[in-house]
Structure 1
Amino acid sequence: MKKLFSLRRKYSARPTDDLPRSEKMRGHPFIIPVVTFLALFFVSGIAMVLLGGETMGASDARVVRLTVDGVEQTVPTRARTVKDLLQRLDVEVSEADIVKPALDTLIVEENTEVTVQKARPVTIIDQGRRTTVLSAHQQPRTVVEQAGIELYREDGIALDGNIDISDRIIGEQIVVDRAQEANINLYGNGFAVRTRAKTVGELLEQKDIKTLEGDTVEPARNTKLASGTQVFIVRKGKKVITVEEVIPAPVQTVPDGNMAAGITAVREAGTDGKKLVTYEVEMRNDQEVSRKVLQEVIAVTPVRRVVAQGTKSSVTGTKADWMAAAGISEADYFAVDLIISKESGWNPGAMNGSRCIGLGQRCPSASGQNALLAACPNWQVDPVCQLQHFSAYANGRYPGGWQGAYNFWLANRWW
């Protein structure tokens, strides 16, 4: 009994009061969950610091259409700006590269278009002088002008692919063919011109100057032109006057998907031209009684004015909301959805290369007028008006209205 008692004392549990504090904690039932929580908390904190304090979710991602030197790719990204996007994709850009939109532009829209045109070396040869520049522009004239070389409208620009290695030409070669100055005096009214014509006759043809019976041209038509040549067209026996008139600059409107609908911006200012109109005047008692146009000569060619028109839609609501507001029957929703999705992707401000516009891509008539513009003056931001317009079109053209249009579209891929 004494031996058994000593064994029982040896292996019996010690009272908890006698245990050290560290051993008490190790045996606590909540110690493992608490330690795990604290560890995860500190790891999360470190991650937040490394990520700049932001969290990422599925809603943070955007689809971007990126084009680099003409090669397009569609990428999902959580980049906040264009610069961030390019850095994430390892697309290096330099100051000479063209990036649209700008690097600091926020990426907040789906299908944002980003274009990068990389600069390359170009050698410009202008009257024997060589200038090498880095340029991302594709138009030769723009490359030359961006290099600080003044050009006149009449100057010729050509890409020369015949490069001799011994000439030490770097990159592409652009040759400037300079026009020379000349002066034309048309029935007493003189004006300066620039031309690459070789003879007086070529110059008159180039400027569309038609001499009439009894006119004299000096020097002769076959005379070779030199810089500063004076050309006279003289008429004797009748009173002839020449009047200078303005030619308004033509205006070209181009769509811009990165600018809000309804907004316009001048991309190229353009300039007015001028023309010389020659009249034969009939006089009686020193009073003019009639005049007849003999010819019109363009002295200064007008330069077109380019205006960008925003097409990015900023409207709210869903396509179902728009169809309901336009009074379209729910039974027709499937037909409307297919046609509009295929034609414009439900973009009210859509415009294609043939200048067909809107949700249903209304095209101009033979006279150049577009019925959608008259029906919906604010068409880029008014999808309800557009759907009403296209509903009238579908009901007037197809038996069964939208569903008839649906069947026609499936068979022909247009409507």
Structure 2
Amino acid sequence: MSVTGGANPVKKRFDIKKTLLILLTAVVLVGITSYIAYETITAEVTVVQNGEEVEKTTAANNVNELMDELGIDVSKHDELSVSLEDELTDGMVIEYKEAQEVNVAIDDQEETYYTTQEQVKDFLEEESIDLSDHDQVSVDLNAEIKDGLKIDIDRAFEVTVNDGGEEHTAMVTNQSVGELLKDLNIELSDHDQINAELDDSVQNQSSIDIVRVTKEKVTEEVEIPYETVRENDSDLLRGNQEVVKSGKEGKKVETYEVTKENGEVVSRELVDEEVVEDSVNQVVAVGTKAPVTLVDSKGEWMNFTSTKYTAFCDGCTGSTATGVDVSNTIYYNGMRIIAVDPSVIPLDSIVEVKVGNNTFKAIAKDTGGAIKGKKIDILVDSKQEAWNWGYRSVQVRMLKEG
């Protein structure tokens, strides 16, 4: 039997297998090529973002493209372990830390900072913000830095408190005057004075002055002087005076409020007085009786009894009854001084005294308790002369009536 004009079945099956083999080979080659190309253009990198580690396979060419791929916007304040322009390499580790905003106010002057430090103390050190032992900080130095953190720093300064002359110094920040005084254990009384209000803030380089004011009551016993009352006496010769009632001083207790500032008396005010003993007025009789002159005003000689006395005899004071100082003299305007009975020889009269054949002018400037009637007492220098004279008769005549 013969076959003509038909396909060979064996050959046809062979062609299909060959075609399938070629297609499979092509697919494998494409896969291998793609794999080789992928492995060539990608890199396995590790990104540590704010302490969290992320494994990343990327086809990015450099760090900047990787950051964009991860949605990380790197600012100039952020911390990056490599440069943004560095090419990525397989196995590369990139550390990124985002900067936190920190607002610092020093004595109300505020400034904004950005930092990647973990704690407040490290941030302050990084920014060279030094603190003294007395400065006040609003947050703990070991506190964790968080975005938007506000740090208030009050710088301490020295203040002098002059407490009534005693000086105290203290380092303060934003204290009030009252708080400062409390810290220094300084208490004010109701009367003390201070050059500031207690609610006022303490100012830098200021001085607080306290004046210690004390008020105390003081009592004193004071004499009340007596007054002299003069009464006319018609039985007493004109020109004569006589104490008929002695005066006596009274007593009163005065109470003063004494104010002292820092121990010094600044005022003394009388607040009360009490009379504990009344004064007694002195009563003086003033003579109004006209004297009867027994000496002849025409200048005729009359007989008198005479004695002599000194300026410092018993009961004498060195001054005459008319106020003449005779402690060093026995003369007045060149004339001898005599004591008289004013009812016989008026005071200030000028007379002539005759002793034997000797005469001298005298002026009536004194009186005496024992000189009564027609008697004169002649002032001399010594007691011996007065004793030797004793009592003698003399003659007297008026030259000029006083």
TM-score category of the 2 structures, normalised to the smaller one: under 0.3
Greater helix fraction, Structure 1 or Structure 2 = 1
Which structure ranks higher in relative contact order (CA pairs < 8 Å, sequence separation ≥ 6)?
A: 2
Task: Choose 1 or 2 for highest CA Rg.
Answer: 2
Greater strand fraction, Structure 1 or Structure 2 = 2
Give TM-score scaled by structure 1 length: 0.26
